[in-house]
Structure 1
Amino acid sequence: MTDLPPDPAPPPRYSRKGLIAPFGIVLIALALWSVWWAVLIERVESGLNDRIAALREAGWTVRYAALQVNGWPFRASVRLRDLELVAPSGQGVSAPALSAEAMAWDPDRWVLVARDGLVLSRGDRGKVTLDAGAVRASGSGWGNAYPNLAVEIVEARFTPLPGAEPFPLASAARLEVYVRPNAGLEGGPGVAQPAGDPADAADVLVRLIEARGRPGGPVAALTRNGILTVQGEAVITRARDLSGQDVAGLTAAWARNGGALLNVRGELTAGTSTARFDSPRLAAGPDGRLTGQVTLTAQDAAAAVSGLTGAPADALPAADATLTLSFADGEARLGPLALAPAPKLF
Structure 2
Amino acid sequence: MSVPDPTPPRKRSRLGLFLPFVLAGLVAIAWTAAWFWARGEAQARMDAGVETLRRAGYQVSWKERSVGGYPFRFNITLTEARVREPSGWGLEAPVLEGQARVSSPTSWVIAAPQGATFVRPVGGPVQVTGKVIRASLTHLSETPPRFSFEGVDLAFQPAAGAQPFGLQAAKRVEFHLRGNDELDEGLVSVRVDEGRARLAGLLGRIAGERPVSIVWNTTLTKISAFQGRDWPDAVRRWTGAGGRMNLREAGVTAGEAVLGASSGSLGVGADGRVTGSLDVTLRQAPRALDAMGETGVIAQEQAAAAAAVAEAREGAGEVARAVIYFQAGQTTLGPVALGPAPKVYELR
Question: Same-fold call, TM > 0.5?
Answer: yes
- Structure 2 counterparts to residues 141-220 of structure 1, below 5 A: 141-182=139-180, 198-220=182-204
- Cα contact 2:86–2:231 (8 A) shared by 1: no
The one-letter amino acid paired with 2:177 is V
Alignment correspondent of 2:96:
98
CA distance in 2, matches of 1:290, 1:49: 36
TM-superposed CA distance for 1:224, in Å, is: 4.2
- Cα contact 2:134–2:150 (8 A) shared by 1: yes
CA distance in 2, matches of 1:216, 1:340: 21
CA distance in 1, matches of 2:109, 2:212: 29
Aligned counterpart in structure 1 of residue 235 of structure 2, from 244, 251, 259: 251
Change (3 A) 1:128 1:252: farther
SS at match of 2:104: coil
SS at match of 2:105: coil
TM-superposed CA distance for 1:336, in Å, is: 2.8
Alignment correspondent of 1:335:
334
- Cα contact 1:127–1:160 (8 A) shared by 2: yes
**TM-score when normalising by structure 1:** 0.85
CA distance in 1, matches of 2:206, 2:324: 15
CA distance in 2, matches of 1:342, 1:40: 49
Coordinate RMSD, CA, aligned: 2.7
The one-letter amino acid paired with 2:332 is R
- Cα contact 1:87–1:245 (8 A) shared by 2: no
The one-letter amino acid paired with 2:89 is Q
TM-superposed CA distance for 1:9, in Å, is: 6.6
**TM-score when normalising by structure 2:** 0.84
SS at match of 1:116: coil
Extract unaligned runs of 5+ from structure 2: 295-302
The one-letter amino acid paired with 1:336 is P
SS at match of 1:345: coil
SS at match of 1:326: strand
Change (3 A) 1:169 1:244: farther
Change (3 A) 1:175 1:228: same
The one-letter amino acid paired with 2:199 is P
- Cα contact 1:156–1:173 (8 A) shared by 2: yes
TM-superposed CA distance for 1:289, in Å, is: 1.6
SS at match of 1:327: strand
- Cα contact 1:224–1:307 (8 A) shared by 2: no
Note the alpha carbon deviations across 1:14-55, whole angstroms, 9 max, x for none. Answer: 233332232233223222322321222111111111222333
TM-superposed CA distance for 1:119, in Å, is: 1.6
Alignment correspondent of 2:266:
282
SS at match of 1:43: helix
User: Which range moves more in the overlay, 314-323 or 141-150?
Assistant: 314-323
